[in-house]
Amino acid sequence: MATDPESLRIRGYLQSQASEKTVEELIARVEEGMQELAGAALAIRPGARTAIPPGETWSPDDCLRHATGSDIHCARQILHVACTGELPPGAEEAPAGSFEEMLARHREALDSLYAHVREADPEAFLDVKWEHPFFGDLNWREWLLFLRIHSKDHARQLAAMAGSG
């Protein structure tokens, strides 16, 4: 876990908001980030999606592949822990395909996540935590809210790439 002030501030935000908000409120916040990510991705011209913009270390395609792959993996983990209390096995896999196909897989994973956490007991299995490399051990509700931060961060990155291309 990182101990810099910004990481600690974000960790505090995740912990406080995840405990204060209802699951529906958390989903609404996550969905804002997801819409922002999809909008930023689709704003990039198809011909510019695989080129690495000046000053960047990866292309828009790399960025979206990471964002969607990570979110899909996290969604699966959150869903399983919220419903069973067990972290599922399996590693993150970057989705294949076009921007539109990646976003469709992303959408399917999120829709499944939302349906399952709405059915789960919102107070169950909060003692089950797993490590985030910057924010330490988080429970499923904190990870759910993290999806918002992650998507918004990469949406901003994609928007900057669109502006440079």
User: How far is the C-alpha of 76 from the C-alpha of 70, rounded, in Å?
Assistant: 10
Residue 95 CB: number of other CB atoms within 10 A?
Answer: 17
What are the residue boundaries of the structural domains of the chain, listed by start? 5-164
CATH of 5-164, one of 3.30.70.1520, 3.30.1330.10, 1.10.10.10, 1.20.120.450: 1.20.120.450
Work out the pLDDT band at 117, boundaries 50, 70, 90.
very high
pLDDT of 2: 66
User: pLDDT tens, 123-160?
Assistant: 999 999 999 999 999 999 999 999 999 999 999 999 99
User: pLDDT tens, 13-71?
Assistant: 999 999 999 999 999 999 999 999 999 999 999 999 999 998 889 999 999 999 999 99
